[in-house]
A = this chain, B = another copy of it.
Amino acid sequence: MALADIRSGARDETAIGEVLRTLRDRFGDRLQTGEAMRAQHAHTTTYIAGQLPDGVVFAESAEDVRTVVQIAAAHRTPIIPFGVGSSLEGHVNAPNGGISLDMSRMNRIIEVNPEDMDCTVEPGITREALNAQLRDTGLFFPIDPGANASIGGMASTRASGTNAVRYGTMRDNVIAVTAVTASGEEIRTARRARKSSAGYDLTRLFVGAEGTLGVITSVTLRLAGIPQAVSGGVCAFKTIHDACSAVIMTIQMGIPVARIELLDALQIRACNAYSGLNYPETPALFLEFHGTEAGVREQAALFADIAEECGGGTFSWETDPEARARLWKARHNAYWAALQLRPGAGAVSTDVCVPISKLAECVEETQRDIIETGLIAPIVGHAGDGNFHVLVLMDMADTLEIERAEAFIGRLNARALAFDGTCTGEHGIGQGKMRYLPLELGGSVDVMRAIKRSLDPHDIMNPGKIFDLT
């Protein structure tokens, strides 16, 4: 599979054998080495071929994590942290083998501080489990990347999703982490204050480090109040450009929109077919407003004026929870709906992000490129952030089609960079985007490498991700 730079480095079979023996003594059945289990832990969700670890350890405590890291470090054997495996760019692959450290049993809420609107959790808890347990507090954790990802994984990829436009990304909502570094020591990056100027921002360094600097053992999260009122709706536009103009005006006016999602006409067609809806098959915005009763009414009215000014159609506002749930279920099922555009096809989900003034142009150029390349590839975007996804549907057995798709993805990334954007708004670099990072950030990648070497001199922490060290 040529779509990503998945390389395999040197393996020291003797060292790995020694590590497995030591782990077996220490963890018994919590070390698993069967092929099915190892394959599941190298499952990369979309398209990158799996590279299996040599063993999987199920951690149950930070102490377990320290022990595994110390054993692996003594033999310079890789550690690959694993949450639920929903990352999209090959983050959980083991190109040099090593130990997949499964964090899913570390899934407790350690503490909730309702007055401070924060909580501290173990990294293996999923966002849905967290929100289910928070329900009685009147608080919720707002970041929603679609998948029911683990909080540790979301922190590690700097995840965001549909409501980042209002609530921010993991960058903004992680107050502190504890992490075990390659030396086997556990550090805490910050205290629980809402802000601090105390030294380097190690919290933000670990958020988005994709496990290459250490294994996160707890995450302190900022929470939001469950809004008193929520309303949502769908608005059709004649063109992508019109829809994006409405987005820009909405943001500029300071309307605190909670979600503002762009779907192109092809994606709307897919959603109609999959979810039994009958939206006009033109570009559309899906919106949600959070606030007081009066606040969401005002926001909706302000947006309605903007939409009209931008040539948008009328829309029906849904305050009824069931109707809203149907609407957002259709949005969340966009991936599955899109797959039905070409039954049996494989799919590559890729993401880029550009300044919102460039979103329309970037999406429209991309649509032309899709047509010229002869691909089927709907587009959905977190338009308020300038972030969009292209889901390329491919016959995975057709080498020529894969090459065409690969060239298309290369052009998509080059286009985003030409608009002063980024090769990934929320998926991370992993293996799949490694080739684009130097094009985006040049000499900054050498700074990243220097930091990596200083904290992990033997490159045992999730090696072969983000950048090559060689």
Residues of chain A at the chain B interface (Cβ within 8 Å) = 113-118, 138, 157-160, 164, 168-169, 171-172, 181, 185-202, 204-205, 207-209, 224-225, 227-228, 248, 251-254, 256, 291-292, 294-295, 298, 302, 353-357, 385-387, 416-417, 420-429, 433, 436-437, 440-445, 447-448, 450-451, 453-455, 466-467
Contact = CB atoms under 8 A, between A and B. Distances in A.
The 4 closest A-B pairs by CB, nearest first: A204-B204, A454-B454, A115-B357, A196-B422
Contacts of A181: 447
Contacts of A190: 422, 441
Contact of A442 (B187, B209, B294): B187
Given A115-B356, A353-B194, A455-B447, A189 B426 contact: no
B193 A113 contact: no
A189 B186 CA distance: 28
Copy number in the complex reads 2
A159 B168 CA distance: 20
Tell which of A195, A197, A441 has the most Cβ of chain B within 10 Å.
A197
Contact of A294 (B114, B200, B294): B294
B356 A116 contact: yes
Contact of A198 (B196, B291, B356, B429): B429
A110 to B, nearest CB: 13
Contacts of A224: 254
Contacts of A254: 224-225, 227-228, 291
Nearest to A164: B195
B200 A448 contact: yes
Contacts of A443: 185-187
A193 B354 contact: yes
Contacts of A424: 196-198
Nearest to A387: B195
Contact of A447 (B160, B202, B252, B421): B202
Contacts of A113: 355, 357
A427 B198 CA distance: 9
Contact of A448 (B199, B420, B428, B442): B199
B251 A117 contact: yes
A89 to B, nearest CB: 9
Contacts of A433: 198
A224 B356 CA distance: 15
Contact of A193 (B195, B198, B209, B355): B355
A237 B12 CA distance: 68
Given A113-B355, A199-B448, A202-B444, A422 B193 contact: yes
Nearest to A171: B201
A195 B426 contact: yes
Contact of A205 (B159, B187, B205, B354): B205
Given A138-B252, A192-B421, 15 more contacts: A114-B252, A116-B386, A157-B197, A188-B442, A189-B444, A193-B355, A194-B356, A195-B426, A196-B424, A198-B428, A202-B444, A225-B253, A227-B254, A228-B254, A254-B291
